Amino acid sequence: MAAPADALEPVRAELLRAARAEAGEVLDRARANAEETLRLGRGTAERVLAAAREAGAADGAASAAGERVRAAEDAWAAELAARAEVYADLRAGVRAGVRRALAEDARARNRLVAAARALLGARARITDAPGGGVVAEVPGRRVDLSADTLADRALDRTGALAERLWERP
């Protein structure tokens, strides 16, 4: 069930601003790390391919083809591992930014409480979440407006935009 746009808008705007600022910094670092990791991975792949070519000359065309396939698979696995690491760093940075934004804005908690009550009603039991934000509950329903959940949702909404991390600038 979605919260009324008016109740969450100030929180959402601040979270998005903080997340975008943090994401920009993390993205720059992530791109640099990804480029370096990809450069190293490609260098390794080229060395493996060169070794495969030499082995292919001695072992025959079939053996060389197998080595090239394995080298390409190894390079792809290294690239995927680098992507996973960069994305994990980005998620951690966005979470830290949202926690910091909530800690610095005393009114943010009040807005989150109001949003939770708008979703679950006045009888909702509101508790502070570790790291910032709140969790609200009524029998059979729960709303998690914790800092980490808000950050994860914001990052998840980037969807295909996250693929830009892997594009060359």
pLDDT at 58: 67
- What's the order of all strands across the beta sheet hosting 141-146? 125-128, 133-138, 141-146
User: What whole-number distance in Å separates Cα of residue 90 and Cα of residue 162?
Assistant: 10
Q: Do 141 and 120 touch, CB atoms closer than 8 A?
A: yes
Examine residue 164 and state whether it is found in any structural domain, yes or no: no
Examine residue 163 and state whether it is found in any structural domain, yes or no: no
Tally the domains of the chain.
1
Expressed as residue numbers, the domain containing 37 is 5-158
Mean pLDDT of 102-111: 92
Summarised one tens digit per residue, pLDDT across range 146-156 is 999 999 998 88
User: Does residue 143 have a pLDDT over 90?
Assistant: yes
Whether pTM exceeds 0.85: no
Q: Which of 38-42, 52-56, 92-96, 105-109 has the lowest mean pLDDT?
A: 52-56
**For residue 16, which phi and psi values (nearest 5 degrees)?**
-65, -40
Examine residue 112 and state whether it is found in any structural domain, yes or no: yes
Examine residue 169 and state whether it is found in any structural domain, yes or no: no
pLDDT at 147: 95
User: What whole-number distance in Å separates Cα of residue 120 and Cα of residue 141?
Assistant: 8
Classify residue 161 by its DSSP letter: G
Examine residue 36 and state whether it is found in any structural domain, yes or no: yes
